[in-house]
Amino acid sequence: MDIRLRSTPPEDAAADVLALPCFEEDLRARRPDGSIGALDRKLGGRLLAAAKEERFAGGAESSLAFPTWGGLAAGRLLLLGLGKRERFGTEALRHAAARAVRAASRVSAQRLALALPGAGEADAEIRAAAEGAALGAYRFDRYRTDEKGRREPPRAVDLLAASPAEVRGGAGALDLAREVAGAVAWARDLVNEPAGALTPSRLADEARAMARTHRLRVEVFGPEAIRTLRMGLFLGVAQGSAEEPRLIHVWYQPGGSAARRPPLAIVGKAITFDSGGLSLKTNEGMLDMKTDMAGAAAALAAMRTVRALAPPFPVHAFMGACENMPGGRAYKLGDVLVSRSGKTVEITNTDAEGRLVLGDVLAWASSFRPAAMVDLATLTGACVVALGHWTAGAFSPDEALAAEILAAAATAGEDVWRMPLTDWVKDTLDSDVADMRNAGERWGGAIAAAHFLSRFTGGVPWLHLDIAGPAFSHKERGYIPKGGTGFGVRTLVDWIRHRADGAKARR
Ligand code: BES
Ligand code: MN
Ligand code: ZN
């Protein structure tokens, strides 16, 4: 699908489908101005008549399609509701663009023209519309041999800007959107790939191939090297599986003096399948557990964009990939594991495996002395209970880093909510035999998990994103498909971009 920028007025756009975003106010106005007014006049008043007839009021998530019967250059008109004008944000446009692409695919349209609403900053609208269109076209169908659900997206999408100046100025925003959408689609693919295919060693192969294509450095370690690094928590989780673990390190090394700047570090949870181990999950609870590497998918996908972002500092990603399985060699309840940092952990639940692997990998990442470190993990069901399926929880003792990540999530259009690291939850991790236990009580479970991780961060400014809710969706909503969502990629990209802008401004 080719996404382009044009300054053609909507009424002249030659396309199979012309998609026109509109606000509730536009449809209530007696004589609407802008594109709606122009198109309505061109259609002899039939646009507003049709909207009225079909009770289309421009509400967010609504849309209305009808043929133009030769009244316009475009064959069909699609009205995309954006809700109330004063509540408009680029996220509504991202969703609307995805709805337009899907509606166009449904009628096998080759060419889709999408008018930009012009309600906010042009670059932000271009980025959101392009991302929404590209992400709305995403499908995971490599395992389908039937025709069911197979619909080709339009070959070309023309984003209609208000002026040639906007088109010229928007080229950068469009490039960024293409880059980001490609990365998000790849993260979705990795998450959707079955655990039987995407084993820890396959994930490492994917990381290696990506690093080669995008000119990044990469190193992959097997069980012996992991043992040499004394990662007892990681090895404990991995030992119940017939699949070997892999420790994956991908990094971007800029040239010149930038190479010596303090790096950023990203850590991703990479459990390629979480059965729960001996604390076995139920069938229901295990059903989606191929997605337990979504944090690593987001980290790798963000790395894929770093060469293009070219920040003036190194960026590292670290992932401990393994399966959590019950087996003859599996780690047991009551076992005491010795972490890379030397701290000991009593195992009270083998299903609290993510924090164990992350503990050792965070300790390793912190030894690179990063300026800041962010981990992404499908860590707790408790976080899904707290925030639902569309919002990630952010835990950090560092106010400045928390503000930075929330700001990045906001410009990226991802929903992230700050959670507290309440001191009173800490004692639920007290152990009678070791420095700590790996699982506390049910209450405050997402906070306890974050406290556990915080003990392995070596004093580096750190933030933990619990993405157990938004990493995977059971419902299609706008540009968010069923299955892997690629959540976190856009926040990471904007975090790196904002940091790069700040570093360049200081020079
Ligand atoms: N991978 C799960 C968390 C999860 C649950 C992700 C649902 C996505 C959807 C994690 O490893 C886990 O099993 N956590 C336990 C921790 C508990 C045993 C302390 C949980 O949340 O139940
Ligand atoms: Mn688990
Ligand atoms: Zn897990």
Dist. CA 120–CA 6, nearest whole Å: 18
Q: Going by CA atoms, what residue is nearest to atom 22 of ligand 1?
A: 381
Position 157 scores a pLDDT of 98
The verdict on the CB of residue 466 being under 6 Å from ligand 1 is no
429 Cβ below 6 A of ligand 1: no
Rounded to the nearest angstrom, the distance between the alpha carbon of 371 and the centre of ligand 2 is: 30
Residue 148, beta-bridge partner list: none
Q: Which amino acid is at 441?
A: E
Q: Are 427 and 331 in contact (CB under 8 A)?
A: no
Question: Which listed residue (99, 304, 355, 490) is catalytic?
Answer: 355
Atom of ligand 1 nearest to the CA of 445: 19
Q: Which one-letter amino acid corresponds to residue 53?
A: E
Q: Is 160 in the pocket of ligand 1 (CB under 6 A)?
A: no
418, pLDDT greater than 80? yes
| In the chain, ranges of CATH 3.40.220.10 domains | 2-169
Q: Is the CB of 445 under 6 A from ligand 1?
A: yes
Q: Is 355 a catalytic residue?
A: yes
What single-letter amino acid sits at 107? Answer: V
Ligand 2 centroid–CA 231 distance in Å is 19
- Which ligand is in closest contact with the Cα of 440? 1
**212: which 2 tokens?**
């080669």
Q: Give the CATH number of domain 178-505.
A: 3.40.630.10
Residue of the CA atom closest to atom 14 of ligand 1: 380
346 φ/ψ angles, rounded to the nearest 5 degrees = -85, 130
Q: Whose CA is closest to 11, among 39, 34, 30, 31?
A: 39
Q: Contact, 82 vs 22, CB < 8 A?
A: yes
* Pocket flag, ligand 1, residue 473 (CB < 6 Å): no
Structural element, H or E, at residue 162: none
Active-site position among 85, 208, 281, 418: 281
Near ion ligand 3, which residues have CB within 5 Å?
271, 274, 292, 354
**Cβ of residue 351 lying under 6 Å from some atom of ligand 1:** yes
State the closest ligand 1 atom to the C-alpha of 281, by its place in the atom list counted from 1: 13
Alpha helices in 58-121 (DSSP H): 90-106
Placement of tokens 């928590």 in the chain: 233
Q: How far is the CA of 203 from the centre of ligand 2 (A)?
A: 19
Specify whether the CB–CB gap between 313 and 506 falls below 8 A. Answer: no
Question: Tokens 């699982």, residue?
Answer: 439
> The CATH number of 2-169 is which of 3.40.50.300, 3.40.220.10, 3.30.70.260, 3.30.70.980?
3.40.220.10
Residues paired with 362 in a beta bridge? none
Cα angle 470, 462, 399 (rounded to 5 degrees) comes to 90
Average pLDDT over residues 375-381: 99
**Where do we find the tokens 């790395």?**
303
Catalytic status, residue 217: no
The pLDDT confidence band at residue 34, using thresholds 50, 70 and 90, is confident
pLDDT at 507 over 80: no
Q: From atom 17 of ligand 1, which residue's Cα is the shortest distance away?
A: 352
* Residue closest to 43 by CA, chosen among 22, 70, 6: 70
Query: Residue-wise over 284-305: b if at least 16 C-beta within 10 A, else e?
Result: eeeebbbbbbbbbbbbbbbbbb
Interatomic CA distance for residues 365 and 449, integer angstroms: 18
Q: How many helices (H) and strands (E) does the chain have?
A: 17, 19
380 CB within 6 A, ligand 1: yes
- The span from the CA of 304 to the CA of 358, in Å, is 22
**CA–centroid distance, residue 389 to ligand 1 (Å):** 14
Question: And the tokens for 106?
Answer: 């449904």
Reported as a single tens digit per residue, the pLDDT across 230-289 is 999 999 999 999 999 999 999 999 999 999 999 999 999 999 999 999 999 999 999 999
236 lines ligand 1 (CB under 6 A): no
Going from the Cα of 494 to the center of ligand 1, the distance in angstroms, rounded, reads 28
Percentage helix, strand, coil for the chain under 3-state DSSP, each rounded to 5: 40, 20, 40
User: 177 exposed, middle or buried (CB, 10 Å; 0-12, 13-18, 19+)?
Assistant: buried
Residue pointed to by tokens 């047991």:
332
pLDDT, one tens digit per residue, over 339-349 is 999 999 999 99
φ/ψ of residue 298, rounded to 5: -65, -40
- Report the separation in Å between the CA atom of 228 and the middle of ligand 1, taken as the mean of its atom positions: 29
pLDDT of residue 183: 98
473 close to 480: Cβ distance less than 8 angstroms: yes
Amino acid present at 464: H
**What is the whole-number distance in angstroms between the Cα of residue 209 and the centre of ligand 2?**
28
State pTM to two decimals.
0.97
Amino acid letter, residue 287: L
Average pLDDT, the chain: 96
What is the pLDDT at residue 149? 63
Q: Is the CB of 166 under 6 A from ligand 1?
A: no
**Statement: residue 31 has pLDDT above 90:** no
Tokens 């503990």 label which residue? 359
Count CB neighbours of 443 within 10 A: 10
Ligand nearest to the CA of 270: 3
Q: Is the CB of 392 under 6 A from ligand 1?
A: no
Give DSSP secondary structure letters for 377-425.
Answer: E---HHHHHHH-SS-EEEE-S-HHHHHHHHHHHHHHT--EEE----GGG
**Ligand 1 atom at minimum distance from 471 CA:** 8
How many other C-beta atoms can be found within 10 angstroms of the C-beta atom of residue 165? Answer: 11
Burial of 119 (0-12, 13-18, 19+ CB in 10 A): middle
Question: And the tokens for 170?
Answer: 């928007």
CA distances from 452 to 7, 180, 424 (A): 53, 32, 13
Q: Please report how the helices 46-53 and 34-42 are oriented relative to each other, as an axis angle in degrees rounded to 10.
A: 100
CB 264 within 8 A of CB 313: yes
Kindly report, as residue ranges, where domains of CATH 3.40.630.10 are found in the chain: 178-505
CA-to-CA distance for 216 and 253, rounded, in angstroms?
7
Residue type, 171: A
**Ligand 3 centroid distance, CA of 355 (Å):** 8
Number of CB atoms found within 10 A of residue 36's CB: 23
| DSSP H stretches of helix in 292-371 | 294-309, 354-366
CA of 324, closest atom in ligand 1:
11
Q: Which atom of ligand 1 is nearest to the CA of 276?
A: 13
